[in-house]
A and B are shown apart, each in its own frame.
Chain A
Amino acid sequence: MTQNNRLSSGGRIDRSQPLTFTFNGKQYQGFKGDTVASALLANGVDIVGRSFKYSRPRGVIAAGAEEPNAILQMGATEATQVPNVRATQQELFDGLVCQVTNGWPSAEFDVMGLVGKAGGSFMPPGFYYKTFMYPQSMWDTYEKCIRKAAGLGRSPRENDPDIYDHINQHVDVMIVGGGAAGLAAALSASRSGARVILADEQAELGGSLLHASESIDGRPASEWAAEVIAQLEACDNVQLLPRSTVNGYHDHNFLTIHQRCTDHLLDCAPIGQARQRMHRVRAKWVVLATGAHERPLVFANNDVPGCMLASAVTTYIKRYSVVPGERLVLMTTNDSAYQAAFDWAESGRFVVAIVDTRAHPGGDVIDEANRRGLKVIAGSAVIEVKGSKRVTGVSVSAINQLGDKALGPVKHLTCDTVASSGGWSPAVHLSCHTGSRPVWRDDVIGFVPGNSQQKQLTAGAINGTAALSTCLQEGFQAGREAAINAGFDTVPSISLPKVDERHIGAAMALFHIPHSKPTSRAPKQFVDFQTDVTAAGIEIATREGYESIEHVKRYTAMGFGTDQGKLGNINGMAIAAKSMNKTIPETGTTIFRPNYTPVTFGAVAGRHCGELFDPKRYSAMHSWHLKNGALFEDVGLWKRPWYFPQAGESMQESLNRECKAAREGVAILDASTLGKIDIQGKDAREFLGRIYTNAWAKLAIGKCRYGLMCGEDGMVFDDGVTACLADDHFVMTTTTGGAARVLEWLELYHQTEWPEMEVYFNTVTDQWSTMTISGPNSRKLLSELTGDIDLSRDAFKFMDWHEGTVAGVPARVFRISFTGELSFEVNVPANYGLYVWEKVFEHGAKYNLTPYGTETMHILRAEKGFIIAGQDTDGSVTPIDLGMDWCVSNQKPYSYIGKRGMNREDCLRKNRKQLVGLKTKRSDVVIPEGSQAVADPNEPVPMTMLGHITSSYYSACLGRSIAMGMIRDGFERMGQTVYYPQPDGSVIEAEICSPIFLDPKGERQNV
């Protein structure tokens, strides 16, 4: 457990806090401040995974979000498993457990490696598509193998113990990126008083300032950064969010930020704390200061562990005090990468050579290299790496000035680390999320943000700006401008600090290093490490006719990995362009889409999971139902009692008991969930006439009426009873699930079609508790609870309503019936719902008052042939199809919604499906709902289907099964037999009959 690559001093780690962690089952040590990647490098771990297709050993390449190889499976327990964690971004904590994701069964020895070693010709680009797509039926099997071998990580098999949440934020200025430009922007925006959020994906704000060689105002850049951060922290109007990746930039300046709150502390968040938080930010103005990613160069065997980005070498040395090798060869097309060699040398390790592809590099760095006595080989390139599990050396050759030909002679250098830099690609990802396309700039040798429709500014390296002083200047300017644009007048400008920086020489536009052999014959030159896309593969793709970069991407899988090709895409585009003799801007980029880095499902879900996944709505009597053993059914968001089983009862036995109680004694239903809409205004009655299919002009005060509601197409969508409370006052009931939709429907027509009508609609669903007392003893029971309502047959007729008190509580009582029995629906203000319900039971005991739920309600109404909108209707059924022409009035002076629709030719034709009753030949067989009817059970498949079962139950009162269903031309087929073939091969035979199975004259409810 020695950290051979750790320097004894320097860096931003805390050597007083050693941490122990486990990688691939082995324990290692690191320090507080390390990332998993820096700790692995400190311990000399070279291999962190195996590659996707060829299973080649891979090591850490980068030091940030762009890392393609060090993608780990993390978690100390099954429940805390997290797949696809970037080791370069995961901070180390004590007890961290991780392992390689890819490289099954182990990264050191790999069965897939044999395929890779055998050479690329077995697995050309498009291999997976060509090999595994056919036959289609085998795809499930292939997918499992590919996923396992390719290493896409795995999700935990146990419930995640952590919580994740969401928070909404509103700011004047949102700054993305906490490097030089971002800090400068935050500082100047903050001075205006604007509300500012600064988010950065790293643990520490400061970006490259944390390891920069430049000085600001005569001090190390990191000190300037610390001072600015302290100033910002002191501002009430500024919120600093480290460890927070802005992953999505959506329309209307809406941004999603994934904050990792405790991922750096423990395997599992401390109790009461959210592990991760999704910030949903609405910003007036956005400043993108997202920086740039260094591009590696593409050369033969450039994936052997020990090949790294030049800037990553600097980062590991300066921030983590880790030198990831002994002997360095640096290859570069530009000045900035020289810093890696300087830092390496300063660490006391050997710089073998700086190989500069430029024939005549200028710039201050050349002088410095000379001063330091470092060997610079100009006009040359590392054309090939030697080694398999670690770099052992490189081949260096002179190249031509265009950079497309190796001129030789080839020299061998011994080294264990190859750092490369092809320049910097601005991190334009977010700027492209809202549809803007990036623009190529030859001077930058990269894509910069294009014009945006968003209220957005950019600052720093995202613009291709290299000099620190200019980054700071752009940051100050952008922050100030954003605050002014957001409406802040007084924004003091900040004077630019003095930056001591080098003169930068011109860079060379080079992406793909030539080999002495043609690309197709040379050892693999990797472009996208995570998906194993090579320069040769891209050339094959273009040769096979994939000319659009989007097609090249899909054919080769370039950019398909969890890293989304941050490292390789621009190189790939350049290689595609070159092989098609096009320019890079002509070839263009693929589209950048959210999310910038992977987001956990936990953070996406937030607290909308488990108990809080969806609201549960309860009636005022819910606690009683719970106490009395109800089982519940979901109806919309409501929890409705389904049935009330007694000890030892089967469901059917409960239903039989509940049904008989309603028919022979007295039973009670909690009907509070039905939608209730209060309608007031002088045009209320006329409005009802237009909304319902039947007539409302003559409904007297004190009376109720059933109504059907249709869409414009004439198809039934809701029904219910509406009572006339006064001439200008009605109360409408709707189905439980349809309540909100009906209210919207009324508002829609009122607000858009008939705004001149004087009527107001208000929901009173929650205001009233409703209990339906049904059965021959219901009058007797209710009479014990009310003194001021005359319940006698003549004083309180069927379809009347009366006001009075029930159990001393103001009530509206409706004599309506969904069971076909004598039935009273008692409505009391919901604050008294439970009280009245309890009182009804106190008095009901002697009548054996039986509570019933939705299932019994369904059976009782089906015995009577009453429909349930949404069960017996499906949006294709007119009132006529339901046999409910009695509920359609064509005498109304003004039309009603659905009239024209239901009178279309197709709705009037013969032979439509119609709602009928069905009696099975065997009375104990209940036809499954949804069963399809056929006339001839022996007809070969495909059979001619006549309709289907919509409702089907066993009726205890009738001693047989009953069903309702749609049958083509059903009204004309009374008495005929139809057949319902079942999945098990059996056939249920049934006779078509009236859907009214019980009491067709309605005598029971008129007692």
Chain B
Amino acid sequence: MSDVTNVEASSPVQAGEQAAKPQVAVMNLLAGEGPRADSPLAHAELGAIAKQSDAKGGVCLQELKLLGHLVLRGDPNNQSFVAGVTKVLGVALPAALKTEVIGELSVHWVSPDEWLLIMPAKQAFQLERELRAELTGHYAIVNVSGGQTVLRLTGPDVDKVLCKSTPYDVHERNFPVGKVVTSVFAKSQAVISRSGEEAWDLVVRRSFADYLWLWLQDASAEYGLQIKG
């Protein structure tokens, strides 16, 4: 598994190409079958709560745990960067405030030079390698699969919970399906995306996950919170 230090260092640079390959240390951060992986909310034992939770809640919460998360940085005005990414992902990088979904991969715009790629954990290292093989010049990829998690909120009252939590306008006229923003969430932050009329995903930092879990339970209480394992 240890694809040590500089897989890219020895990659040949094509003739005539100006931009060089960055010399970076790439490693597969996924262990084999043995070691146990704990999601940021493992201690909350959502699976156990799910079995006894209110099935009629206006809000349903599910942790989409242990997914692969890659941060991609690059200049959207750099044609070769954009073309390279499009080639590997099979989809163009989403424009500002947009999410693209292709199969199991979702690509969220985060800032003018940043995207968040979320996919099954096992695909992360492969995707990083494919991107690095294709891209040249100035860009960065960082595997942050262990540093964050996805909370999926569904149900008719999710929008009200979001209103309690973020100053961003989540009304469908301002926040249609397919939109994404990174904004204040309670006293933390989240990458907030809308995947359906009543379906939202929050990408939250690991160390803040417990705080946000407490916050969401509290904010959802009046509508009834259902937990999905």
A binding-site residues for B, Cβ under 8 Å: 165-170, 195, 272-274, 280, 282, 607-608, 611-612, 614-620, 622-623, 638, 673, 678, 680-682, 701, 725-729, 758, 760, 762-769, 788, 803-805, 807-810, 812, 829-836
A680 touches B146 (CB 8 A): no
A616 touches B29 (CB 8 A): no
B24 touches A616 (CB 8 A): no
Select one of B2, B113, B160, B171 contacting A170, CB under 8 A: B171
Q: Could you give 24 example pairs across A and B, Cβ below 8 Å?
A: A165-B164, A195-B171, A195-B173, A272-B221, A280-B167, A608-B186, A615-B186, A615-B212, A619-B207, A622-B43, A678-B140, A678-B142, A701-B6, A726-B6, A726-B23, A762-B140, A766-B146, A766-B147, A766-B205, A808-B31, A809-B31, A810-B2, A829-B145, A830-B147
**Interface check B188, CB cutoff 8 A:** yes
Closest chain-B Cβ to A343's Cβ sits at a distance in Å of 42
- Which of chain B's residues have a CB closer than 8 A to the CB of A768? 146-147
* CB-CB under 8 A for A832 and B4, given A168-B163, A274-B222, A616-B210: no
A762 touches B71 (CB 8 A): yes
Instruction: Describe B's contact surface by its main secondary structure.
Output: loop
* CB-CB under 8 A for A681 and B138, given A623-B43, A726-B6, A728-B24: yes
A620 touches B38 (CB 8 A): yes
Select one of B140, B163, B211 contacting A681, CB under 8 A: B140
* CB-CB under 8 A for A836 and B218, given A618-B210, A682-B138, A762-B71: no
* CB-CB under 8 A for A168 and B38, given A727-B23, A766-B148: no
* CB-CB under 8 A for A617 and B207, given A167-B160, A810-B2, A829-B146: yes
A809 touches B35 (CB 8 A): yes
Instruction: Describe A's contact surface by its main secondary structure.
Output: mixed
A803 touches B5 (CB 8 A): yes
- Complex Cα gap A728–B30 (Å): 23
**Interface check B154, CB cutoff 8 A:** no
- Which of chain B's residues have a CB closer than 8 A to the CB of A808? 31-32, 34-35
- Complex Cα gap A832–B66 (Å): 11
- Complex Cα gap A680–B139 (Å): 8
- Which of chain A's residues have a CB closer than 8 A to the CB of B212? 615
- Complex Cα gap A169–B159 (Å): 11
- Complex Cα gap A833–B113 (Å): 30
Most buried by B among A165, A764, A803, A830: A830
**Interface check B206, CB cutoff 8 A:** yes
B164 touches A725 (CB 8 A): no
B140 touches A725 (CB 8 A): no
In the complex, which residue of chain A has the Cβ closest to the Cβ of B25? A725
Select one of A169, A767, A788 contacting B144, CB under 8 A: A767
In the complex, which residue of chain A has the Cβ closest to the Cβ of B34? A808
- Complex Cα gap A673–B32 (Å): 26
- Which of chain B's residues have a CB closer than 8 A to the CB of A729? 22-25
- Which of chain A's residues have a CB closer than 8 A to the CB of B31? 805, 808-810, 829, 832
Closest chain-A Cβ to B61's Cβ sits at a distance in Å of 17
A725 touches B5 (CB 8 A): yes
- Complex Cα gap A764–B141 (Å): 12
Known pairs A612-B214, A767-B143; list 12 more (Cβ under 8 Å).
Answer: A616-B210, A618-B210, A680-B22, A726-B23, A767-B144, A767-B145, A805-B31, A808-B31, A809-B31, A810-B1, A829-B31, A832-B146
In the complex, which residue of chain B has the Cβ closest to the Cβ of A271? B221
**Interface check B166, CB cutoff 8 A:** yes
B144 touches A835 (CB 8 A): no
- Complex Cα gap A168–B184 (Å): 12
A617 touches B37 (CB 8 A): no
* CB-CB under 8 A for A803 and B25, given A760-B73, A831-B146: yes
Closest chain-A Cβ to B177's Cβ sits at a distance in Å of 18
B71 touches A831 (CB 8 A): no
- Which of chain A's residues have a CB closer than 8 A to the CB of B42? 834
B22 touches A764 (CB 8 A): no
- Complex Cα gap A805–B29 (Å): 10
**Interface check B198, CB cutoff 8 A:** no
Select one of B28, B37, B205, B219 contacting A831, CB under 8 A: B37
> Which residues in chain B, 157-173, are within 8 Å of chain A measured between CB atoms?
160, 163-164, 166-169, 171, 173
Interface size class of B (residues with CB under 8 A): 35 or more
B binding-site residues for A, Cβ under 8 Å: 1-2, 4-6, 9, 20, 22-25, 27-32, 34-40, 42-43, 66, 71, 73, 113, 138-148, 160, 163-164, 166-169, 171, 173-174, 186-188, 205-208, 210-212, 214-215, 218-219, 221-222
Closest chain-B Cβ to A608's Cβ sits at a distance in Å of 7
Select one of A169, A272, A764 contacting B147, CB under 8 A: A764
In the complex, which residue of chain B has the Cβ closest to the Cβ of A672? B207
Select one of A169, A170, A615, A727 contacting B208, CB under 8 A: A615
B206 touches A766 (CB 8 A): yes
- Which of chain B's residues have a CB closer than 8 A to the CB of A807? 35
B138 touches A832 (CB 8 A): no
- Which of chain B's residues have a CB closer than 8 A to the CB of A758? 138
In the complex, which residue of chain B has the Cβ closest to the Cβ of A803? B4
- Which of chain B's residues have a CB closer than 8 A to the CB of A165? 164, 219
- Which of chain B's residues have a CB closer than 8 A to the CB of A611? 214
- Which of chain B's residues have a CB closer than 8 A to the CB of A812? 27
A607 touches B208 (CB 8 A): no
In the complex, which residue of chain B has the Cβ closest to the Cβ of A768? B146
Closest chain-B Cβ to A826's Cβ sits at a distance in Å of 13
- Which of chain B's residues have a CB closer than 8 A to the CB of A829? 29-31, 145-146
- Which of chain A's residues have a CB closer than 8 A to the CB of B188? 615
- Complex Cα gap A727–B148 (Å): 27
- Complex Cα gap A673–B206 (Å): 12
* CB-CB under 8 A for A836 and B147, given A169-B163, A682-B22, A728-B22: no
A170 touches B219 (CB 8 A): no
- Which of chain A's residues have a CB closer than 8 A to the CB of B164? 165-168, 607
- Complex Cα gap A166–B28 (Å): 43
- Which of chain A's residues have a CB closer than 8 A to the CB of B34? 808
- Complex Cα gap A726–B73 (Å): 18
Closest chain-B Cβ to A870's Cβ sits at a distance in Å of 20
B37 touches A803 (CB 8 A): no
- Complex Cα gap A810–B205 (Å): 21
In the complex, which residue of chain B has the Cβ closest to the Cβ of A727? B23
Closest chain-B Cβ to A251's Cβ sits at a distance in Å of 15
Select one of B2, B20, B23, B169 contacting A282, CB under 8 A: B169
B4 touches A616 (CB 8 A): no
In the complex, which residue of chain A has the Cβ closest to the Cβ of B167? A168
Most buried by B among A167, A680, A835: A680
| Shortest beta-carbon contacts, A-B, top 9 | A767-B147, A766-B147, A829-B146, A725-B25, A760-B140, A727-B23, A830-B146, A170-B169, A617-B207
In the complex, which residue of chain A has the Cβ closest to the Cβ of B23? A727
- Which of chain B's residues have a CB closer than 8 A to the CB of A618? 207, 210
- Complex Cα gap A758–B137 (Å): 9
- Which of chain A's residues have a CB closer than 8 A to the CB of B174? 170
- Which of chain A's residues have a CB closer than 8 A to the CB of B39? 831
Closest chain-B Cβ to A106's Cβ sits at a distance in Å of 41
Most buried by A among B2, B35, B208, B219: B35
- Which of chain B's residues have a CB closer than 8 A to the CB of A673? 207
* CB-CB under 8 A for A766 and B1, given A803-B25, A831-B39, A831-B66: no
Closest chain-B Cβ to A706's Cβ sits at a distance in Å of 20
- Which of chain B's residues have a CB closer than 8 A to the CB of A804? 2
- Which of chain B's residues have a CB closer than 8 A to the CB of A834? 38, 42
- Which of chain A's residues have a CB closer than 8 A to the CB of B6? 701, 726
B186 touches A612 (CB 8 A): yes
Most buried by B among A272, A274, A769, A829: A829
- Complex Cα gap A765–B205 (Å): 10
- Which of chain A's residues have a CB closer than 8 A to the CB of B142? 678, 680, 762, 764, 767
In the complex, which residue of chain A has the Cβ closest to the Cβ of B204? A766
- Complex Cα gap A804–B25 (Å): 13
- Complex Cα gap A612–B188 (Å): 11
Closest chain-B Cβ to A895's Cβ sits at a distance in Å of 24
- Which of chain A's residues have a CB closer than 8 A to the CB of B148? 766
B207 touches A726 (CB 8 A): no
